[in-house]
C-alpha cells in the first residue's frame, strides 16, 4: 500500500501516531501541505490512501486519484476543501475526525480575543524594545458575546464566555432539540451565586441580524459553504455594533477581507482576530496585513500536542479501517 501524507502538523508533532502509521508497513510519501489544485494534480494518482489536511481536492484532483485511491482520510474536521459531491459520485470514501479539537480551538479563540482587547501583541513588542508604554484595553465581563454556530466548538466558546461573566447570544441555522437542553443546563450551572457580580446569561437569537447590533464581541464558528462564502461583507458589517471586536477561528472564506480591512481602518470594527485567511498560506497582498488592530495566526487553532495526537491517531485509524475493509469502524462522511 502506498499512502500520501500532506498534513504538516501530523508530521511535525511527535507522538504515537507516527508509530501507528509505521506499524502498518505501508509506503509513506510525505509532502508539505496545504497544497493547491495545481500541485495536487502533479502528485496524485499512485496512492491507495491519502492522509490530507486542507489540500484542494477538486473534481479534477479526485478524478486523477482513480482508479487506485481507496480512501481519503482528513486529518481534522473541516471538509470545505474537498468536493464531497464529486467524491461521492466517484465512490471515494472520505473520512474525518469529529470531536477531537473543539476544546483546543475554543481556547485559541479566547486567546485571540484577549490578545485584541488587552493589546497583548502590541504591548509585548513595546516592552521587548525596552520601552514602557501602557495602553488601555477592555474587559470581557458584563459584555455581550455573539456566537455564530453552535456546534462542538461554538458550545465550548459559549461555556467559556459565561465563565468570564459575559452575556451570550447564540445562533445556528440548524437547531436540534439538544441545543435547548444545552442552554438550559448552562443557565442552571451559571445561576450559582459565585457568578453574582457579573450574572452570566445565554439566549438563542432568532437570526444573525438580531445578534449583530447587540454583540460587543462576535465569534464565528460556522462551517464554510457555498451559501455563506463572503457573507460578512460591508453590508453585514454595517449592521454590527460600532466598535465591535470579531474573532474568526473558522474559515477565511466567511469574510470579505477587503471589507473587513476597511472596517478596521475606519473604527467600525475595533479589532479583528483570525486564525484563518483566504487563501492559505497568506498572500503577500492580503489587505489585513499591517493593520494595528488586526491579530492573525497561521491556522494553529487545533495545533496543540494533545489535539494533534487525537486528530492524527483517529485519521490513521480511519485510513487503516477502510483499507482493511472495515468501513463500519471509520468515520465516513460520503455514501459509498
User: Is residue 199 in a domain?
Assistant: yes
Count the Cβ atoms, other than its own, within 10 Å of residue 88: 15
169 and 310 both lie in a single domain: no
116 and 80 both lie in a single domain: no
Cell of 176: 436540534
32 and 154 both lie in a single domain: no
280 belongs to the catalytic site: yes
253 pLDDT band, cuts 50/70/90, is very high
pLDDT of 335 > 90? The answer is no
Alpha helices in 129-207 (DSSP H): 152-163, 177-189
User: Is residue 336 in a domain?
Assistant: no
Residue 29 to residue 1: CA distance in whole angstroms = 11
* Three-state DSSP class for residue 62: helix
139 and 260 both lie in a single domain: yes
User: Is residue 156 in a domain?
Assistant: yes
186 and 275 both lie in a single domain: yes
Catalytic option among 47, 152, 160, 251 = 251
Percent of the chain with pLDDT over 90: 99
58 pLDDT band, cuts 50/70/90, is very high
200 and 86 both lie in a single domain: no
For the stretch 258-284, pLDDT in tens is 999 999 999 999 999 999 999 999 999
Phi-psi region of 294 (alpha: psi -120 to 50; beta: other; left: phi over 0): beta
- Are residues 31 and 5 in contact, defined by beta-carbon separation less than 8 angstroms? yes
Cross-strand pairs, 203: 169
Residue 240 to residue 251: CA distance in whole angstroms = 20
Catalytic option among 47, 299, 303, 310 = 299
User: Is residue 335 in a domain?
Assistant: no
Q: What is the CATH number of the domain that holds 79?
A: 3.40.50.720
Residues 224, 230, 232, 236, Cα dihedral to 10°: -130
Q: What is the pLDDT of residue 336?
A: 72
60 and 107 both lie in a single domain: no
19 and 131 both lie in a single domain: no
pLDDT of 299 > 90? The answer is yes
User: Is residue 334 in a domain?
Assistant: no
Count the Cβ atoms, other than its own, within 10 Å of residue 97: 21
Alpha helices in 118-176 (DSSP H): 120-128, 152-163
Mean pLDDT, rounded, of the chain: 96
For the stretch 75-112, pLDDT in tens is 999 999 999 999 999 999 999 999 999 999 999 999 99
CA-nearest of 78, 102, 151 to 302 is: 102
Q: Which domain holds residue 217?
A: 102-296
For the stretch 181-224, pLDDT in tens is 999 999 999 999 999 999 989 999 999 999 999 999 999 999 99
pTM for the model:
0.91
Amino acid at each position: 500500500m502506498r499512502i500520501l501524507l500532506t498534513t504538516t502538523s501530523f508530521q511535525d508533532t511527535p507522538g504515537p501516531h507516527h508509530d501507528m502509521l509505521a506499524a502498518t508497513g505501508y509506503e509513506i510519501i510525505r509532502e508539505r501541505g496545504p497544497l493547491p489544485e495545481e500541485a495536487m494534480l502533479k502528485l496524485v494518482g499512485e496512492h491507495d490512501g491519502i492522509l490530507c489536511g486542507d489540500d484542494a481536492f477538486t473534481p479534477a484532483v479526485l478524478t486523477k486519484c482513480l482508479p487506485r485511491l481507496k480512501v481519503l482520510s482528513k486529518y481534522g474536521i473541516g471538509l470545505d476543501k474537498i468536493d464531497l459531491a464529486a467524491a461521492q459520485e466517484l465512490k471515494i470514501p472520505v473520512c474525518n475526525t469529529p470531536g477531537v479539537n473543539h476544546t483546543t480551538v475554543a481556547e485559541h479563540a479566547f486567546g485571540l480575543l484577549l490578545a485584541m482587547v488587552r493589546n497583548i501583541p502590541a504591548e509585548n513588542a513595546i516592552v521587548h524594545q525596552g520601552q514602557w508604554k501602557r495602553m488601555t484595553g477592555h474587559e470581557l465581563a458584563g459584555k455581550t458575546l455573539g456566537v455564530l454556530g453552535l456546534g462542538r466548538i461554538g458550545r465550548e466558546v459559549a461555556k467559556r464566555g459565561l465563565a468570564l461573566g459575559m452575556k451570550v447570544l447564540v445562533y445556528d441555522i440548524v437547531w436540534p432539540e439538544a441545543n435547548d437542553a444545552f442552554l438550559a443546563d448552562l443557565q442552571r450551572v451559571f445561576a450559582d451565586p459565585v457568578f453574582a457580580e457579573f450574572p452570566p446569561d445565554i439566549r438563542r437569537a432568532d437570526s444573525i441580524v438580531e445578534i449583530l447590533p447587540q454583540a460587543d464581541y462576535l465569534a464565528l464558528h460556522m462551517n464554510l459553504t457555498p451559501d455563506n462564502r463572503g457573507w460578512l461583507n460591508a453590508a453585514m458589517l454595517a449592521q454590527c455594533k460600532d466598535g465591535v471586536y470579531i474573532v474568526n477561528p473558522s474559515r477565511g472564506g466567511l469574510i470579505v477581507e477587503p471589507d473587513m480591512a476597511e472596517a478596521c481602518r475606519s473604527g467600525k470594527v475595533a479589532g479583528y482576530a483570525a486564525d484563518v485567511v483566504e487563501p492559505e498560506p497568506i498572500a503577500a497582498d492580503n489587505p489585513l496585513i499591517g493593520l494595528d488592530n488586526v491579530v492573525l495566526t497561521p491556522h494553529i487553532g487545533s495545533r496543540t500536542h494533545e489535539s494533534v495526537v487525537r486528530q492524527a491517531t483517529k485519521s490513521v485509524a480511519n485510513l487503516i479501517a477502510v483499507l482493511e475493509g472495515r468501513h463500519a469502524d471509520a468515520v465516513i462522511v460520503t455514501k459509498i
